[in-house]
Amino acid sequence: MDHHAILARTLNARVAKVMPHPTPLTPARGLSEKLSIPVLLKREDLTPVFSFKLRGAYNRIAMLDERCAARGVIAASAGNHAQGVAYSARRLGIDARVVMPATTPKIKIDAVRRHGARVDLIGRDYYEAAAACEVIAAETGMTPVPAYDDPDVIAGQATVALEILRQAGGPLGSIFVPVGGGGLASGIAAVIKAVRPEIKVIGVEPDDSDAMTRSIQAGHRVALERVGIFADGAAVRMVGETTFGLCRRYLDACITVTIDQICAGIRDVFEETRAVLEPAGALAIAGLKRFASEGRVPSGPAIAIASGANVDFGALGFIANRAAASPDSDYGSRGKVPTPA
C-alpha cells in the first residue's frame, strides 16, 4: 500500500461518529520560547479513552459486515488498545472480549470492564495473552482487532493528520509522532507525504524499545530480545509488517529518547497545560526537544502529538524525580527554583 491508498482510506474513515469534534491543537508557549520556534500540541490525551487508540479501533470495527459484527470482536492488550476496542464496540452495539495478561493492573482491567467488554485474564505477558486471544477467536468466530498492523486501524489513527492540517491552516515545519507498533506514525506519515510532502514527519521511540529505528536501519523488521516497559504504550518486541513498510518509506527520520527525556517531556506538558501525560504520551515532545538541542528542527511551526494520559498514579513519584534529574531541568542539581513570572 502506498501513501495515496492510505490517504483514500483515511478520508473514508468513520471516526467522526465517535469523535465528533477534533482534539485541540494548542500552542505551547513555554516550549515555543525554550526552543525558539512555534510549538503546538495535538491533544490526543483528551479523547474519551485518554488516547488516540479509539480512532483506529472504531474505524476497524465500524467496517465489519453484519455477520462478523453479530459474532463480536476480540483483542489482546494490556493497555490503551483494550480501552479503544471496548469503547468502540459498545458504541456500535457489538460484543467485545479483551484478553489481558494476568499481571495487568486492576485500574486498567476496571477501565475496560467499565466500557462493557468481557475481560479474560490469561498469561504472564502480552505475548501469552495474544496467543490465547488467537485460540479464542478461532473457537468463537469473533473478529480480532489488531492494535496497529491493519490498514483500517492505520487509517483511523491517520485521521489525526487530517485534523492537524485543517486546524493549523498554514505552513508547518514538522510533526513529531510517538512510535510503538507504528500504526499512528505510519498513518500520519503517509497522509502528510500524500498531500504536504514538505512537512517533515519524525517518529520517536524509547531507547529501550526501539524496534522501528532498528528495523529501518537494518532494512527489515528486527525482533528485540528485551523491551523496556516504562513507556508501556509504545513497548513492542516487533513492529508490524504494513506499518514498517509505510514508516520506512514515509518517515523523514526515526529517533530515540531516554527515560529521563520522557519524564522531562511529561513535566513540560504539565507546566503548559496542567495535564499529566503517560510516558508514551510524551515521547513526541521529548523527541522534539532532542532534535532542537541538536539544531535539527526544520524551520516553521513544530507539532508534537501528546498521545495519551493513562498513567499509573503510583508512577508519578518516579517520573517527577527523573524529570528533576534531566539536564534541562529548572529544578535540577543546581537546586534552582524558578520564580513565578
Ligand X SMILES: *Cc1c(COP(=O)(O)O)cnc(C)c1O
The contact set with ligand X (CB under 6 A) reads 51, 53, 80, 148, 157, 178-185, 233-234, 278, 280-281, 307-308
Q: Which is nearer to ligand X, 74 or 285 (CB)?
A: 285
Q: Is the dihedral of CA 183, 187, 193, 198 positive or negative?
A: negative
Q: Which is nearer to ligand X, 37 or 160 (CB)?
A: 160
Is 53 a known active-site residue?
Answer: yes
3-state secondary structure (DSSP) of residue 257: strand
Catalytic residue, candidates 42, 51, 53, 77: 53
Smallest separation, CB 111 to ligand X (Å) = 13
Smallest separation, CB 337 to ligand X (Å) = 31
Q: How far apart are CA 228 and CA 236, in angstroms?
A: 9
Count the neighbouring beta carbons within 10 Å of the beta carbon of residue 128.
Answer: 15
Smallest separation, CB 140 to ligand X (Å) = 25
Q: Which is nearer to ligand X, 211 or 323 (CB)?
A: 211
User: How far is C-alpha 202 from the chain's CA centre?
Assistant: 13
Closest residue to ligand X, judged by C-beta, is: 308
Smallest separation, CB 161 to ligand X (Å) = 13
Catalytic residue, candidates 174, 186, 215, 307: 307
**How far, CA to CA in Å, does 171 sit from each of 161, 196, 227, 339?**
14, 10, 37, 35
Question: HSE-up of 26 (CA within 13 Å, CB side)?
Answer: 14
Is 215 a known active-site residue?
Answer: no
Q: Which is nearer to ligand X, 143 or 310 (CB)?
A: 310
Active site residues: 53, 307
